[in-house]
Amino acid sequence: MSENQQHIDPDVIAAKDTEEELIKQCEEMWKDVEECQNKLSLIGPETLTNSNAQLSLLIMQVKCLTAELGQWNKRKPEIPLTEGVLLTLGKEEFQKLRYDLEMVRSIVQSENEKLKEDLAREQQWLDEQQQILETLNVLHSDLKNRVVTFTESRIFNELKAKILSIKEFKEKLLLALGDFLEDHFPLPDGNTQKKRKNIQELNTQLITLNEMLEMLINRMFDVPHDPYVKINESFWPPYIELLLRYGIALRHPEDPSRIRLEAFHQ
């Protein structure tokens, strides 16, 4: 016996013997299948008689042979589980398991790399948010130190001063409006008319456009639910027509002898 034969693994020899046995069993099974097929071919087409019993017998034979053929096709060769066969099967299963574990390890490593990248991004975002929070806390503390507490008296005095300044501004506007109207919208005789307190004189003499507007304004703010003013002889018709034509005044929808100022402030 040579050195190569001495070093052959006995498990390999057992595996080869098992393989030869399996081949022999398969050949025997194949011979049985061929015999079944030959039997079926020998039967051939037979001339059926009128006898129902013979026809039923032939049908049963065909069914039995078909079932037997199916059983032979489904039958698996019995493998003798020797130590060598078990060792070979174990090695194959081990190699398969090793391959599967390598695949799992590769997938887990890729997932870990991805998680590391996500963790780095989240950590960077957290650092940025912490810096922003620190900056906002510094600004908040600065603003908190600059806040000045206002007392009620101080707020009341400031509001009072604003109201006074608004009233002064209003008086200036009214004076400027009166001067403008006296210069550009005089009465027919050219003389500036003063507002008269006597009602009888008010009915006999014309009033200026400034006085008409002042009357309409006072009526609107003093009696907002009824802002209409009765037209009398002291209202010069051209000025009334001027106010109505340019939308400064409006007639009463039911009484055309009454007018009111357009509510521009609303």
Give pLDDT tens digits for 1-21.
Answer: 444 444 555 555 666 677 777
CB atoms within 10 A of CB 192: 13
The domain limits of the chain are 162-261
Extended strands (E) in the chain: 229-230, 249-251, 258-261
Distance in angstroms (rounded) separating the CA atoms of residues 114 and 75: 51
Give pLDDT tens digits for 208-253.
Answer: 888 888 888 888 888 888 899 999 888 889 999 988 898 888 998 9
CB 209 within 8 Å of CB 181:
yes
Q: What is the pLDDT of residue 119?
A: 92
Distance in angstroms (rounded) separating the CA atoms of residues 56 and 68: 18
Beta bridge partners of 230: 258
Q: What is the pLDDT of residue 52?
A: 59
pLDDT at 202 over 90: no
Between CA 115 and CA 124, with CA 121 as vertex, the angle to 5 degrees is: 140
CB within 8 A of 195, min separation 6: which ones?
Answer: 207, 211, 214
Q: Are strands 258-261 and 229-230 parallel, antiparallel or unpaired?
A: antiparallel
Q: What is the pLDDT of residue 11?
A: 58
pLDDT at 114 over 50: yes
Give pLDDT tens digits for 118-177.
Answer: 999 999 999 999 999 999 998 888 777 765 555 677 788 888 999 999 989 988 888 888
* 3-state DSSP assignment of residue 75: coil
* 3-state DSSP assignment of residue 187: coil
CB within 8 A of 73, min separation 6: which ones?
Answer: 33
Q: What is the pLDDT of residue 133?
A: 93
Distance in angstroms (rounded) separating the CA atoms of residues 109 and 115: 10
172 token code pair: 């200036």
